[in-house]
Structure 1
Amino acid sequence: MLTRHPHTRPHLHPRLTLLAGLLAGLLVQLAASSAPAEEHWQDLHEAVREERIVALPSLLDWLEARFESQVLEVELERDDGRLAYEIEMLGPDGQVVEFEFDAESGELVGMEGVKIDAMRRREVTP
């Protein structure tokens, strides 16, 4: 069993020291390269606050009210010069359906998948 004094550091093998240095350098490079992505997300948050694009939770609420499904993936992409949310959902029969919304208006512009009607919630009449 290896024991050491609590105030001393164990000596690292030279290869481990080199590996730790390379890893630290990579992390610094990744952090520096992610700055534009962080600025991009800040711009998107500002667009939502200023109501230039629809907030994602309102689209998810709309889908939940109309379809029995679980969210698998959400993407915000530029499609033909406009921002679009692509929301991929898993239905109760295992079907995967993608809903596409115009990010500025919140309008549903497309659905792609199988057995979409089987996912629709049945309206309850009073």
Structure 2
Amino acid sequence: MKATLRSLNLLCLYGHCLPRRSLGAGLLALALSASVVLSGSAVGDQHWEALHGEVRRGNVVPLETILDWLEAHYIGEVLEVEVERENGYVEYEIKMLGPQNQVVEFEFDGQSGQLMTIEGVRINEMRRP
């Protein structure tokens, strides 16, 4: 994984965000696999613990896998990662800054890792040849 994908500004889960200037590969992997206290409440911890369990059991694709796919197919820097649960399903929402300063949002199905939607401008300029 290239350095550009390791420099997340925010990692968000269920509306709680952790600011990060430079996540190394180890910290990036731990971000979704470790139980982190976000809000000081038991509810915030339960979300992380549940997600960690789903990733460990293979029910949810690890974030690193999604980021590796993005790096292979698109040029840009990751600005923000959000992990949300919609109707019981995990979704990854990743915002990237493209080479022409365009911001593009990618939405992935957490269970399959499949790209569901892309929103933004000049998306084709971000595609790798």
Asked if Structure 1 and Structure 2 have the same fold, meaning a TM-score greater than 0.5 normalized by the shorter chain, the answer is yes
- Runs (4 or more) in structure 1 with deviation over 3 Å come to none
> Alpha-carbon deviations, 1:60-92, whole Å to 9, x = none?
000001111110001111234422110000001
Tell me the SS of whatever aligns to 2:99. coil
Identity of aligned residues (%): 53
Output the CA distance in 2 between the equivalents of 1:67 and 1:108.
12
How many residue pairs get matched? 93
Output the CA distance in 2 between the equivalents of 1:41 and 1:81.
15
Tell me the SS of whatever aligns to 2:51. helix
User: Residue 89 of structure 2 corresponds to which residue in structure 1?
Assistant: 82
Tell me the SS of whatever aligns to 2:113. coil
Q: How does 1:21-32 map to 2 (within 5 A)?
A: none
Q: Give the unaligned 5+ runs of structure 2.
A: 1-37
| Structure with the larger helix share | 1
After TM superposition, the score normalised by the length of structure 1 is 0.68
User: Residue 15 of structure 1 corresponds to which residue in structure 2?
Assistant: none
Q: Supply the RMSD in Å over aligned alpha carbons.
A: 2.0
1:41 Cα shift? Answer: 0.3
Q: Which of the two has higher C-alpha Rg?
A: 1
Tell me which moved more, 75-84 or 105-114: 75-84
| Structure with the larger strand share | 2
